[in-house]
Chains A and B, each alone.
Chain A
Amino acid sequence: MSRMAPHTQPILPLSLERVSYSIGPATLLQDISLTIPAGRRLLVMGANGAGKSLFLRLCHGLIDPVSGRRTWASAEPRPKAQAMVFQRPVLLRRSVAENLAYPLALDGMERAARADLVAQTLDRFGLRPMANRPARLLSGGEQQRLALARAWAMRPQILFLDEPTSALDPSATRMIEGMVAQFADEGITIVMTTHNLGQARRLAQDVAFLHRGRMIEHQAADTFFAGPETPEARAFLAGDLVW
């Protein structure tokens, strides 16, 4: 593999200490403390509006905590070796290959190395036949595959995924889950939100459960699924409407 590894300094664990986030008078995340170690698959669960997406954005550095601390092992405020895949991928109005190359160019990768890595990514993710097609004209599943491929090409140590399959059909969902599992096998730390219980059971090693902006449970997946501690999580697992 000709993959270069410029961001080799370990950035994990990521730790949050009593982190809160609010907009105006509304407190949207409250007093969350959590450590995300390297090499785990953490699934973030909770009802709609519980704050899962915000939590992910806060970890990724798209928003900053209003109070509390977010620290990486590498001591950078926002390390580069991380990537995020969104629920609805926003792809640039360019070709598939150019979408892959874009973040690499931003990162200052040389043209030749970039071309190598793009070619390798196209092959690995089966995107070669559509390399020159406009990314915006791909199907939903293909677009999400490209978004994952783009994230992978950025060689992250940690990958955040925000409900990456909620807009996809079952076959595309299966494909995306397979890719996430493979990434984890390669040693990429996964933090992913979902409200799909089956998906959580299939992928999770750890579970964090959010309820109204608070993290009310955080434990190993087996323990969580065997018997959650809080009534809210129990109700969620039972399929009740929780609010």
Chain B
Amino acid sequence: MDNPFVIAFGLIMQADPALMQIISLSLRVTLSAVVIACAIGLPLGAALALSRFRGKAMVIVIFNALMGLPPVVAGLVVYLLLSRSGPLGGLALLFTPTAMILAQTVLILPIIVSLTRSVVEDLWAEYQEHLLSLGAGRLQAVPTLLWDGRVSLLTGVLAGFGRASAEVGAVLIVGGNIAGHTRTMTTAITLETARGNLGLAVALGLVLLSLTLALNAAAWGAGQWAKGRLG
């Protein structure tokens, strides 16, 4: 096996266009999925924390359980939905980046919802009468709690990002690993492993790891900054 560190370094230094395209697609897919999952999951999780209804415990348990959904299953569900023979076949989305975004959104939404619920529930216990005293109703409390829980919520968002960027099962099924079109870091790693190019596969893994590291470092820094500034 060739030295993967040397290969990884070479790939990055040359800014290999195929690699750059793969990195760009991976980031685009995963970040989009995270943004969409947050847009849905943050308010949904907060609403779940503040609402009282019959069957709430069951909904919570279901979301918690879905955090462990195997990526392949999420991929398969989205595949069956988007397939030409499926209910959304007319959209012609299978084997496109949009399909991959959708699958990853399905995958990380439960993480965002569950973590948001837990963070907001704790914060609500602390804030409830004070917010009521200051004149905020439940609905107005939602943005307040989300904003004040931002440092903890960031952890959940990062966990979602980690799960999405690391998974291969879902994007492989709904994306098809088409060269130059739906090939991401993880599907490329799978392909190179299958070709026996283990050095290149590990090198790609190193690139993925560095990206994840850089993003987490940035998020951690932002969290520390927010903690220092906003208490």
Interface residues of A (CB under 8 A from B): 57, 60, 62, 80, 83-84, 86, 90-95, 102-103, 106-107, 134-137, 150, 154
Whether a CB of chain A sits under 8 angstroms from the CB of B54 is no
Q: Determine if A84 and B229 form an interchain contact, defined as CB atoms under 8 angstroms apart.
A: no
Task: Report A117 CB to chain B, min CB distance, Å.
Answer: 15
In-complex Cβ contact of B231 among A57, A60, A137, A154 (8 A)? A137
Give the distance in Å from the alpha carbon of A65 to the alpha carbon of B140 in the complex: 25
Q: Determine if B230 and A103 form an interchain contact, defined as CB atoms under 8 angstroms apart.
A: no
In-complex Cβ contact of B140 among A95, A106, A150, A154 (8 A)? A106
Residue of A whose beta carbon sits closest to that of B141: A106
Contacts of A137 in B (CB 8 A): 231
Contacts of A103 in B (CB 8 A): 134-135
Q: Determine if A90 and B130 form an interchain contact, defined as CB atoms under 8 angstroms apart.
A: yes
Task: Report B219 CB to chain A, min CB distance, Å.
Answer: 18
Q: Determine if B135 and A94 form an interchain contact, defined as CB atoms under 8 angstroms apart.
A: no
Could you tell me how many residues of chain B have their Cβ less than 8 Å away from some Cβ of chain A? 18
Q: Determine if B133 and A136 form an interchain contact, defined as CB atoms under 8 angstroms apart.
A: no
Contacts of B124-146 to chain A: CB distance below 8 A: 126-127, 129-130, 132-136, 140, 144
Task: Report B122 CB to chain A, min CB distance, Å.
Answer: 13
Q: Determine if B134 and A106 form an interchain contact, defined as CB atoms under 8 angstroms apart.
A: yes
Give the distance in Å from the alpha carbon of A64 to the alpha carbon of B148 in the complex: 28
Residue of B whose beta carbon sits closest to that of A102: B134
Give the distance in Å from the alpha carbon of A150 to the alpha carbon of B135 in the complex: 12
Contacts of B129 in A (CB 8 A): 57, 62, 86
Task: Report A207 CB to chain B, min CB distance, Å.
Answer: 24
Task: Report A231 CB to chain B, min CB distance, Å.
Answer: 34
In-complex Cβ contact of B127 among A80, A90, A136 (8 A)? A90
Residue of A whose beta carbon sits closest to that of B137: A106
Contacts of A84 in B (CB 8 A): 133
Contacts of B135 in A (CB 8 A): 80, 103, 106-107, 154
**Known contacts A90-B127, A94-B148; A83/B133 CB under 8 A:** yes
